[in-house]
Each structure stands twice: as structure tokens, then as C-alpha cells.
Amino acid sequence: MKILVTGATGKLGSLVVDELLKVVPSDTIAVSVRDPQKAVHLQNKGIDVRYGNFNDYDSLVTAFTGIDRLLIISSDDVLNRTTQHLTAVRAAQAANVKFIAYTSAPKATYTTVEPFKDHRMTEEAIAKSGITYSILRNNWYVENEMNTFQAVLNGMPWIIASSQGKAGWAPRRDYAEAAARVLTGSGHENSVYELSGEPLTQKELADIFAEVTQQEVQLQYLQPEEYGQMLAQSGIPDSFVPILVHMQVEIGRGALEIESSDLQRLIGRTATSLKDALSEITKELAKGNS
């Protein structure tokens, strides 16, 4: 069996490869990357490094040839993501891939979050492809809040623009471990998993952060208009400000509030506690600031 991970030099992809190496031989693992030079360290471990670009159909067909189980890690190119994903699915069909796992978004089937609709379309394409699949609907990575953590450590307030909305934060490595378990395990045919930690509000996450860092955290709630103004003043491109504001509004409406044990079931343990995750994150931030 040969497994391929797309985007394997990215933040999630690199962790998935780490988790795969714990359970399968390196020569059964392949990766597709846009710049193979950035994956020399993987090649040195015996991993099959292949060139693959979501904007280049032929490169994906070549990269996916001979692959049994494929993990498509969703693109971060929001403007072109749907086209890129559909290209990857077509390439998987042409290469006779037997199984696709795909990192999707929470509640993708009926989401009201505009950027998540790309994921819904990708899920539909995979389901129609005739290839056996597993959909991994990853909730929020706690690492998504790194800018907030750093700002608070620098004495700034914790900005909340999602009101009392909850998110199912878990560390990225937990999601990577779940993906590796699906890629190497059995019984995941045509499955959809809502992967999530315990749903918490931003205030509840801030309370955990305060406990870990042993410092007072000042909370500042903003209305959507105020949040948009803050983003614009911070240098965020005008085209992305409405998208980011929309995301916070939808989170406030429950877009990321999911009660599910799928993550714990796939990794065979309870999700990493946010206290432990934040302890590790603050240590890394401290190193970076030293």
C-alpha cells in the first residue's frame, strides 16, 4: 500500500507525515509538493517526494500515479480553492487512486460560512468520483489563535468579535494524528467525521490562557463594524477584511460549535487538553521572543 500526502511541507501536512512515520515504513509514504527542494529532509528519510501543483492537472496525475490512499489537504488559496480541489479529484480519478481522505470544514454540508462552501463542493465532487473516501471535517486549530496569544503576551487586550460563539479548538497535531489513523486503518470507507475538541467560547479559551501564563488577560468585545475597522487599520488587504469579519459573525452564530467524539474515537484517546497545548505554545513563543 502506498500513501500520498499533498502539501506535506505545510503546517498540517508535515505533522501528518510525522504521524505516518510512527506506524508505517517510510518507503510506503509519498508526498506531493510544489517545491521538492523544500522536501529534501523527507527524501532523506526514505519518503518518495514528487512534484505536484494544484494548478497543474498533469503534475497531479503524475504525482498520484501508483498511489493507493491519498490525503488531499485543503488549499489555503481561498480565491482559487474550489478549482484546485476539483482538479485534484479529477487527477485522482485519472491515476486510479483507490481511497481519498480530505481535510474539510465543520458542518460543510449545510454551512453558511462562505469560505466553507468550497469544502462542500469538494466533498460533493469526491462523493461523485466513485472513489472510496473519508471526509475529515477539522474544526479550529488552537494554533489559529497565535496572533492573539502573542498580542496578549505583549500586553494587548484579547479581542473577541465572535460574541459568545464557541469553537472546538484542538491542537493541529491531534487532527494530523486522526488523518494518519484513517490513512493507515480500516473501516473508514465513505465516512464523514466531524473532528472537534470541546466547544468553548473565546472567553473560556482566554481563561485557560490566563491560567497557563499566570497573567491577567483583558478582554475586549468588538462589534463586526469595529472589528473590520481594526483589521483595515492593521494592514489587512481590503479584499480580505469582509471575509474575516464574516467568519467571526458566523462563529458567533455557532458555525464551529459541534459536539462530537469523532476526534477522540479516531486517535484512541481524549484530545490533548487545551491547557497542555497552550503550555507548549507559550513555550515556543517565549523561545521566539528570546
Q: With residue 208 as reference, give the H or E element that holds it.
A: helix 202-213
* Confidence bin at 10 (pLDDT 50/70/90): very high
pLDDT of 287 reads: 78
Closest residue by Cα to residue 174 from 138, 135, 134: 138
Mean pLDDT of 209-223: 96
pLDDT over threshold 90, residue 59: yes
Task: With respect to residue 179, please indicate whether it lies within any of the assigned structural domains.
Answer: yes
Compute the mean pLDDT over every residue in the chain, rounded to the nearest whole number: 96
Mean pLDDT of 154-166: 96
Pairing of strands 69-72, 3-6: parallel
Task: With respect to residue 282, please indicate whether it lies within any of the assigned structural domains.
Answer: no
Task: With respect to residue 148, please indicate whether it lies within any of the assigned structural domains.
Answer: no
* Confidence bin at 290 (pLDDT 50/70/90): low
Task: With respect to residue 161, please indicate whether it lies within any of the assigned structural domains.
Answer: no
Closest residue by Cα to residue 167 from 129, 200, 119: 200
- Which phi and psi angles does 135 have, rounded to 5°? -95, 125
User: Residues of 82-104 as b/e, b for ≥16 C-beta within 10 angstroms?
Assistant: bebbbbbbebbbebebebbbbbb
Mean pLDDT of 97-125: 95
Mean pLDDT of 198-212: 98
Task: Report how many domains make up the chain.
Answer: 1
pLDDT over threshold 90, residue 288: no
Mean pLDDT of 218-239: 94
Q: Give tens-digit pLDDT for 115-159.
A: 999 999 999 999 999 999 999 999 999 999 999 999 999 999 999
Q: In the sheet where 3-6 sits, what is the strand order?
A: 48-51, 29-33, 3-6, 69-72, 99-104, 132-138, 191-195
Mean pLDDT of 51-60: 98
Task: With respect to residue 216, please indicate whether it lies within any of the assigned structural domains.
Answer: no
Mean pLDDT of 250-262: 96
pLDDT of 286 reads: 82
Task: With respect to residue 45, please indicate whether it lies within any of the assigned structural domains.
Answer: yes
pLDDT of 78 reads: 85
CATH number of the structural domain spanning residue 21 = 3.40.50.720
Q: Which of the 8 DSSP states describes residue 39? A: G
For CA atoms 113, 114, 119, 123, the dihedral sign is positive
Mean pLDDT of 266-284: 95
pLDDT of 264 reads: 97
pLDDT over threshold 80, residue 275: yes
Q: Which of the 8 DSSP states describes residue 68? A: S
Whether the full predicted model's pTM is greater than 0.75, yes or no, is: yes
pLDDT over threshold 70, residue 89: yes
What is the CB-side half-sphere exposure of residue 275 using CA atoms within 13 A? 5
pLDDT of 195 reads: 98
Q: Which of the 8 DSSP states describes residue 269? A: S
Domain that holds residue 23: 3-139+170-196+259-271
